[in-house]
Chain A
């Protein structure tokens, strides 16, 4: 198991360098000069321009700049925001819990709804239940997030008034952030109604964000289940006199989960991409909204830092998924 872990870690290292190079080059590939951008419309005089170039290290060769940047990244220094002048990493860590909270809820929603849907579709293959769940998931998959989110807001918030339209918490509450996760913080604060408020703010963003992964998981689970249900060991399990439920939930699902888990890992990337839209629409104070704002202001260090951190998180999650893969599938664990 340790060897497996180390091998997987080894795979991550080249990806790490690849991501840093891409993110670093981004600033040089975009056809605008960061110093000019900072100076704004009034412009900057050549002497000051040279000074600033020196200050930011833009006067050095590209390779040297990259290694300076890499050195900073390795020490947790992602530069300072052009706009707020605060370290990017600091802003990131303040906002990140909000995005995690939303993403975790989104993926939980996707798994909790998607897995059973896939299983139900598979065991009712070809019947109306199968067609229903699969056309629902196809609809969910085809629905653009911004459109779906607006529909949800229009229906549940505006028309029915069941859920709040935006934000993380009702304005009547003020919760001092301790963990940054609103659900936990409101619970810790002990303030009455705060937790319910936080939860109700989460519902629509969660659905909007989780729908596409849910559809993907449902479809993947279905096809994977169908494949496994045709295996001989399923017949053997049934020949043991096990209940159909046990055959499906234990013998089939365990095997069918292997490809599904990979897909769940891949969906985390999709989830962050979706978070950018979802957070913007729901005014959710997370990384997604932060990056969109930084983009509008051409705040390069923030964009770079944000993208880099998201890339790291996605890599981390996929590493974790690979390890899970080993836990579930003994053939992977024992491979030399």
Chain B
């Protein structure tokens, strides 16, 4: 059984009769020791779905799912107290912006020790020793003097290491990293990712890596899940997705990678933006931006189907040559790219 099983997770905001679906029936699973990468542009529902797993979606947001199980226990059906005992201990999360993730009024030590106190107890001395271990583990130089530092005295990279130390304090079995490197500069990004992967590998954690950086997941993830406007567009093993994307969106994302641009003097882009609450297309959510879209795509919304062993939400999944299959003639409607 997978460590985390998400079946048809939906997160809605706004009024009951006209809800906005930030996350729309998304399913995935993470096994222990596995790295699942969730990729997508800003606004595709990556963060919201992870907040839903953590139980951090507040009123007026509504979370529903056929099942949301962690280690066989349904997170949505358990009482709040029991769920709190799991969040922060067995499931931990790292947030985007380390500079605002630490409480400015408390020392590093106090914030890490707090997590330990809530979930593991023990006396103050033990907790302090463990905190020192953790700081060593996440590679903080001179950890002893950093213990009593306040967040404003730390750099971004240092703060993110503290945030990671805080998250792994209780040896979680699942770590959700929500764009852990977005707010950091490139050299630090690599260090933080290396650190996360090392920690993941050492303790056989499941890691849910949320990012919009495809290059990053290509190195880190075992499996990849591509999301767009709250929907799952494609999922499958990382290497096969990179070798042969089945969804036009994945293909376009890959083409936009500088590493993949060959010969062209301009990097290819996907025109337009992710649809929001008020400009949702009637048919396929990607239709206005898709180079292969035809009338069928504009009128009807595709469901997730199995295509050569991969989950793809497209009427015309791409073949190995990167051409749409099943389209009768070249009757493309939106000649956008």
Q: Which residues of A contact B (CB under 8 A)?
A: 231-233, 235-243, 251, 254-255, 328-331, 334
CB distance from A174 to the nearest CB of B (A): 50
A236 to B102, Cβ gap below 8 A? yes
Cross-chain contact B118 with A236 (CB below 8 angstroms)? no
Residues in B70-117 with C-beta less than 8 Å from chain A: 84-89, 92-93, 95-97, 100-106, 114-115
Q: Bound state CA distance, A231 and B103, in angstroms?
A: 9
Q: Does B56 contact A (CB under 8 A)?
A: yes
**In the assembled complex, which residues on chain B have CB atoms less than 8 Å from the CB atom of A243?**
84
CB <8 Å contact, B89 and A241: yes
Q: Give, as a whole number of angstroms, the nearest-CB distance from B87 to chain A.
A: 4
A334 to B154, CA, bound (A): 13
User: What residue in chain B is nearest A240 (Cβ atoms)?
Assistant: B88
Which of A232, A236, A242, A331 meets B84, CB within 8 Å?
A242
| Cβ contacts B145-172/A at 8 Å (1 or 0 each) | 0000010110000000001001000000
User: Is the Cβ of B93 less than 8 Å from the Cβ of A239?
Assistant: yes
Asked if B256 is at the interface (CB within 8 A of a chain A CB), the reply is: no
Instruction: Say yes or no: B119 contacts A241, CB within 8 Å.
Output: yes
- 6 extra interface residue pairs, beta carbon distance < 8 Å, beyond A239-B88, A241-B84, A255-B105: A233-B101, A236-B102, A239-B92, A240-B118, A242-B84, A255-B104
| A235 contact set on B, CB distance < 8 A | 51, 56, 95
Q: B54 within 8 Å of A by Cβ?
A: yes
Measured between alpha carbons, how far is A142 from B152 in the docked complex, in Å?
Answer: 40
The residue that A240 contacts in the complex, of B97, B104, B153, B166, with Cβ under 8 A, is B166
For B106, the chain A residues whose CB sits under 8 A away are 254
Point out the residues of chain B lying under 8 angstroms from A330, CB to CB: 104-105, 150, 152
Q: What's the nearest-Cβ distance from chain A to residue B295, in Å?
A: 43
Q: Find out whether the CB atom of A237 lies under 8 angstroms from the CB atom of B103.
A: yes
Q: Which of B105, B114, B163 contacts A329 (CB 8 A)?
A: B105
Known A233-B100, A239-B93, A334-B153; contact A254-B105, beta-carbon cutoff 8 A: yes
B56 and A239 contacting across the interface, CB-CB below 8 Å: yes
Q: Separation in Å of the A290 CB from the closest CB of chain B? A: 42
* Smallest CB gap from A229: residue in B: B58
Q: Which residues in B have their C-beta under 8 angstroms from that of A236?
A: 95, 101-103, 163, 166
Q: Are A242 and B118 in contact (CB under 8 A)?
A: yes
- Closest Cβ–Cβ distance, residue A252 to chain B (whole Å): 9
A-B contacts, 26 of them at CB < 8 A, read A232-B97, A233-B103, A233-B104, A236-B95, A236-B103, A237-B103, A239-B54, A239-B87, A239-B88, A239-B93, A240-B88, A240-B166, A241-B88, A241-B115, A242-B84, A242-B118, A243-B84, A254-B103, A328-B105, A329-B104, A329-B105, A330-B104, A330-B105, A330-B150, A334-B150, A334-B153
Nearest opposing residue in chain B for A234, CB measure? B103
Contacts of A232 in B (CB 8 A): 95-97, 100-101
Chain A residues with CB below 8 A from B152, complex form: 330-331, 334
Contact partners of B163 in chain A: CB under 8 A: 236
Cβ–Cβ contact A241 & B85, under 8 A: yes
The winner among A231, A328, A330 for most chain B CB atoms within 10 A is: A330
Query: Chain B residues near A231 (CB, 8 Å)?
Result: 100
Q: How far is the CA of A233 from the CA of B86 in the complex (A)?
A: 19
From B96, B97, B118, B150, contact of A241 by CB (8 A) = B118
Does the CB pair B56–A240 fall under 8 Å? no
For B101, list chain A residues within 8 Å (CB).
232-233, 236
B78 vs chain A, min Cβ distance (A) = 13
In the bound complex, residues from chain B placing their C-beta under 8 Å from that of A239 are: 54, 56, 87-88, 92-93, 95
Residue of A nearest to B116 (CB): A240
**Could you tell me the distance in whole angstroms from the C-beta of A272 to the nearest C-beta in chain B?**
31
When the two chains form their complex, are residues A238 and B56 in contact, meaning their CB atoms are under 8 A apart?
yes
Q: How far is the CA of A237 from the CA of B110 in the complex (A)?
A: 12
Given A233-B102, A236-B102: A242 in contact with B150 (beta carbons within 8 A): no
Per the bound structure, the CA–CA distance linking A175 and B54 in Å amounts to 63
Query: Chain B residues near A328 (CB, 8 Å)?
Result: 105
Residue of A237, A238, A241, A328 with most partner-chain B CB within 10 A: A241
Shortest A253–chain B CB gap in Å is 10
Considering the chains assembled together, what is the distance between the CA atoms of A187 and B150 in angstroms?
A: 45
Closest to B153 in A: A334
The residues of A that contact B92 with a CB separation of less than 8 Å are 239
Whole-angstrom CA separation of A334 from B153 in the bound complex: 9
Closest to A232 in B: B100
Closest-by-CB residue of A relative to B169 is A240
Most chain B CB within 10 A, of A238, A239, A251, A334, is at A239
A243 to B163, CA, bound (A): 19
A241 proximity list for chain B (CB < 8 A): 84-89, 115, 118-119
Contacts of B85 in A (CB 8 A): 241
Report how far A232 CA is from B100 CA in the complex, Å: 6
